[in-house]
Amino acid sequence: MSATSELSTRNDGHLIDIAPSPTTGINQSGGGGEIHTEWLRELTSASRSTAVLNDLIGRTPTLWYLGERAPTILRPRSRRADLKALHAVAIGPYHRGDRGLAFDDEAKLPFLRYLQDQCGLDVEQYVAALGAARGCFRDEFADDADAVAADWLRDEDKFVKMLLLDSSFVLVFSLMFGKAGRSEVTRERFILYTALAQYADEIKLDLLVLENQIPFAVVKLLAASCRGLKLRSVEELVLGCFDGICPTRARGKAELLLRETTDARFHHILHLFHWSRVPENKYRLLSVQLKFREATEESDQSEWLMPCARELHRAAVWFRKPSLDGAERHGGDLNMEFRSAAASPMAVMTIPSFHILAYTAALLHSMLAFEKHFHWAHGACVTVHLRRMEGLIRCPQDAALLRRRWILGSVKCTDEEVVDFFRDMAAEAAGVRMPEEYGEMIRAVARHRTRRARRWCGDLILHFLPSPWVSVSLAAVVALIIVPAMLQTIYTILGYQK
């Protein structure tokens, strides 16, 4: 072997060439042929390796915290055909071409003027601030194939105009229907409030659609630019608009907003609403995903489904609502708990009341779309809750059982419609990884059901105490017949002894 092709380093018995050949681009082999090695520099290029590594990070959801932050406002492709996207107002670029909306760009001009006259907005200063940060705001929107949306995102003047009008509409709506306190009633305020009031419910739903958003930092910048507007928290002001919408806000979230600094914390209104409805520090997926068992001949994925309500009832599981003053209410309307003590044959599953209202399907679809794209960063609480409910309610008899336990509250749907509702919602949530809390409850329920004594207890309750009224009747029989008979026997014995 010649000196020019000699390998310079040995490592564990393997020869590694780390020194460049004096003959540029050519290695001489023992057979006398020439091997061109220009490709070696390309393979060992640091820039190419970094580019490939960044691509791997972008394609690996568990590494979301290492890569560049993806756009947070996008048009989901999984929207059901029978679900209308918007009702009254378009916010952002994706529905700019929609017709029939009550508030188009022309109708948003009075809201901008109201902030100028009543709140001291310096429009030129605000537009200058928007223009300076337009690059950061533009990064929040995902590119869309729609020609109208692409035009609004590409044209800088149109983009800044869109942010100006949409943020004005959002802020004025929040001032009038949120918690801003009392303000002077003027002719302009009366007109705007009356015009908004007839579409208030529809606007609230529109503001919670994933693709119908603008960066929340734009709204905060607008509020800061209004010299006559004094607010403790813009987040609390906006959340006040949705206080009457189910699911209700988790306890403690309002105090947390006012107690902690929330600068640049929320991406948009839907993100803020989602945060306010889910438990704190639960149902999160960071870098470790739930490890399900492999589907084999002995076990399949069906064992990771929640047993239905009747099966749990047969296994001596008692369903109850969270107490209003209990600690479990801090989880809000989207948090279940399962408790099973080793010394007790009974188990308790705490389930908040679930209300299926006219807007529930549209609202849950928006929250599911948010979690489907950002569950690695913001958790999958809504997805987990719907997956559990879909497992509990698999037939009309399950729905009837939970309705008797007040788990399904104020439901105007039939039992069959309830089953179809949760089945459709679970189909919308397909593809989202489940957090560890989901697997923990499934395993706890499985352990409870395998104990023979608890199955016997469940069968006893099912056959002899099928409803609370049977228990009340049995207690009444004991109180009215057995107890007086025992007392009479005791008195007779005592009288005989005397």
Domain ranges of the chain: 3-63, 106-277, 305-464, 470-498
Q: Distance between CA atoms of 236 and 90, rounded to whole angstroms?
A: 23
Residues comprising the chain, all counted: 498
Residue listed under structure tokens 């209004």: 226
SS3 134: helix
Q: Give the pLDDT confidence score for residue 10 in this predicted structure.
A: 45
Q: Distance between CA atoms of 279 and 381, rounded to whole angstroms?
A: 8
Q: Give the pLDDT confidence score for residue 63 in this predicted structure.
A: 67
Consecutive 10-residue runs of the chain (498 residues): their mean pLDDT? Answer: 44 46 50 69 80 77 64 81 78 90 94 94 94 93 90 94 97 89 80 95 95 95 92 90 89 64 76 91 65 39 76 85 68 86 79 91 92 86 93 94 87 90 88 84 87 57 53 66 75 69
Q: Distance between CA atoms of 211 and 72, rounded to whole angstroms?
A: 9
Q: Distance between CA atoms of 89 and 105, rounded to whole angstroms?
A: 9
Q: Give the pLDDT confidence score for residue 256 in this predicted structure.
A: 64
Residue 177 one-letter amino acid: F
Closest CA to 230 of 179, 172, 287, 180: 180
CA dihedral 85→210→176→242, nearest 10 degrees, is: 100
Q: Give the pLDDT confidence score for residue 176 in this predicted structure.
A: 93
- How does DSSP classify residue 226? B
- How does DSSP classify residue 11? E
Q: Which residues, 6+ apart, have CB-to-CB distance to 162 below 8 Å?
A: 92, 93, 96, 152, 214
- How does DSSP classify residue 74? -
Distance between start and end Cα atoms, the chain: 124
Name the β-bridge partners of 72.
Answer: none
- How does DSSP classify residue 88? S
SS3 195: helix
Which H helix or E strand runs over 340? strand 337-340
Task: Read off the pTM.
Answer: 0.79
Q: Give the pLDDT confidence score for residue 496 in this predicted structure.
A: 65
Q: Distance between CA atoms of 185 and 29, rounded to whole angstroms?
A: 91
Q: Distance between CA atoms of 465 and 459, rounded to whole angstroms?
A: 9
Residue 207, Cβ neighbours under 10 Å: how many? 24
Q: Give the pLDDT confidence score for residue 398 in this predicted structure.
A: 93
What string of DSSP letters covers 456-497? HHHHHHHHH--SHHHHHHHHHHIIIIIHHHHHHHHHHHHHHH
Pairing of strands 347-350, 14-16: unpaired
